[in-house]
Chain A
Amino acid sequence: MNSVAATYPESLEQHPSCETPSSSAKATALTNEERRLIGRLRTGDEGAFDELVNRHHGALVRMAMGHVADREVAEEVAQDTWMAVIEGLHRFEGRSSLRTWIFGILIHKAKDRGVREKRHTTFSAFESCEDEHDEAIDPSRFRQSGEWAGHWAFPPQPWDEQTPEKLLASREAVEAMHKAIDALPATLKDVLILRDIEGVEAKEVCAILRITETNLYVRLHRARERVRTAVEAALG
């Protein structure tokens, strides 16, 4: 079950899809914090393991949900991932960040589980192609002709006085955000979760998902716009 942890490549250098392998290698180096954490994990510090799980479990489940049928299965995939992490930890060489390695295992397992469930996964050429070419922002929001073609016809109304905390205090806005995120196809959900929810640096997201930086920003733009539109509608 957990051979993935042993075989999942830690280094980006094996992935020609990355635009800048040399800079990516730098991005995936272990931080001092991670080095300390790994040291604690290898000595069997349960507190360190709890800390790691608490930090990433939610994002793992959410990402898995993009590939499998329901939350229960997504929880199983996340649990399997943690088991694989436990078993593979002594073999982890630190050629990528710990987080990159963990999310790589999760994606591998979720994809595998999704295929076994005979669902269409996000890795089909069709869906990938569709993602790249669809408009992120509804074209009708821009002027179609005239001197100001391409400029806003129906611009976003400013959310004055809004702060992240105030936004989270609005049940409607939070529900809209969760609903919009959950409804994203996996290709978009993965980038949004990693970049915006987990706060992973762009280059590390590319490493985890094995996509180019150009591809990352195309997907991120589409994902963020869907969530923004949902919140915009919820806030009226």
Chain B
Amino acid sequence: MKDHPSQWIPSGLTCRETAGLAGEYLDDRLPLLAGIRVGLHLASCAHCRAYFSQIVLIGEAARLFPKTVPSPVNRLRLRRHFAAQHSG
């Protein structure tokens, strides 16, 4: 499929509008017709496909960030407090 603008499938959406709907589209939260229009636009626009895939990629990478845990001192305080709540 050609990605030159002249080959775009008329979705009624500009790239700017399509990009603005990325979050809802990726979460499947758009009304049916709007979702179809975004899908049509993506099918023929490599730039918006790149944009959407970058949004997805960043989200996936963010989810892999190393976990931060409390300092040993704070952890100990929490454990003691937790234990105290359950003793007697």
Q: Decide if A155 touches B50 in the complex (CB within 8 Å).
A: yes
Q: Decide if B78 touches A53 in the complex (CB within 8 Å).
A: yes
Residue of B5, B16, B29 ringed by the most chain A CB atoms within 10 A: B16
- Interface-lining segment among A9-17, A25-33, A226-234: A226-234
Question: Which residues between 119 and 170 of chain A lie within 8 Å of chain B, taking CB atoms?
Answer: 136-137, 139, 142, 148-152, 155-159, 162-165, 167-168
**Could you tell me how many residues of chain B have their Cβ less than 8 Å away from some Cβ of chain A?**
45
Compute how far the CA of A158 lies from the CA of B45 in the bound complex, rounded to whole angstroms.
12
| Residue A61 lies at the interface, judged by CB distance under 8 Å to chain B | yes
Q: Decide if A75 touches B71 in the complex (CB within 8 Å).
A: yes
Residue of B48, B62, B83 ringed by the most chain A CB atoms within 10 A: B62
- Chain A residue nearest to B8 in the complex (CB): A151
User: Which A residues are within 8 Å of any B CB, using their own CB?
Assistant: 43-44, 46, 49-50, 53-55, 57-58, 61-62, 75, 78-79, 82-83, 86-87, 89-90, 136-137, 139, 142, 148-152, 155-159, 162-165, 167-168, 173, 177, 181, 192, 195-197, 199, 202, 213, 217, 220-221, 224, 227-228, 231-232
23 CB contacts below 8 A, A to B, read: A44-B82, A44-B86, A53-B69, A53-B70, A57-B68, A78-B70, A79-B77, A79-B78, A86-B82, A136-B19, A137-B16, A137-B20, A142-B14, A159-B50, A159-B57, A164-B61, A168-B64, A196-B58, A197-B62, A202-B29, A220-B23, A221-B22, A231-B58
